[in-house]
Amino acid sequence: MAAPGGGLEPLARTVSGHAQIHLLGFMGCGKSTVARLLARRLVWNYLDLDVLIARHAGASISAIFATEGEAGFRDMESHVLRQAVQKPRTVVALGGGTMLLEPNRELVARHAMSVWLRASFETCRLRVGDGAGRPLFGDLEGARNLFRARQDDYARATLQIDAEDDPNGIAARIEGVARRL
């Protein structure tokens, strides 16, 4: 039920006391697409961490990796995450590597109900295509190793959801969970 003035305060309070939902998982699992659809369903804001990083740097993700290296990219990622968690009633699409760093994991745990979109490596690979714009998806074996190595970090999410289905169905299921909490 919407609050007077058209806001969604009652729902915001019921999502585990958090006013944000963070979507996480490997490159190509559908974080950005599902986040956009979910935000529309909830009438919440939508943020994409990669978009915020590119805007912050004034450069593409690939250019940041090329000039600053992965470490420089991770610093910017943590910086924009600290800003993003301040915004109420927001669905945030995290980057595939956001959960690698403990300070990021703490921010996510403190500010959001987080959802791991679990898709197989094959599904992610098909969705990513040629890997353009994703410097860490350049070589297939390297990406497969990253996929395996990151499972435990993704498993720290509040919830896990099978992300093989179509994005609209996934968004609907997350909305259902959020509204029941």
Chain residues in the site for ligand S3P (CB under 6 A):
27, 31, 50, 61, 95-97, 134-136
What spatial distance separates the first Cα and last Cα of the chain, rounded to whole Å? 14
Structure tokens at 141: 């074996």
With respect to ligand S3P, which residue has the nearer C-beta, 19 or 95?
95
CB of 5 to ligand S3P, least distance (A): 34
Cβ neighbour number for residue 140 with a 10 Å cutoff: 11
Instruction: Please state, in angstroms and rounded to a whole number, the distance separating the CA atoms of residues 98 and 130.
Output: 22
CB of 31 to ligand S3P, least distance (A): 6
CB of 181 to ligand S3P, least distance (A): 26
With respect to ligand S3P, which residue has the nearer C-beta, 50 or 119?
50
SS3 85: coil
DSSP 156: T
SS3 115: strand
Q: Which residue has the tokens 């004034």?
A: 58
Find the angle CA(93)-CA(40)-CA(13) to the nearest 5 degrees.
Answer: 80
CB of 50 to ligand S3P, least distance (A): 5
With respect to ligand S3P, which residue has the nearer C-beta, 27 or 37?
27
With respect to ligand S3P, which residue has the nearer C-beta, 8 or 29?
29
CB of 95 to ligand S3P, least distance (A): 3
With respect to ligand S3P, which residue has the nearer C-beta, 145 or 179?
145
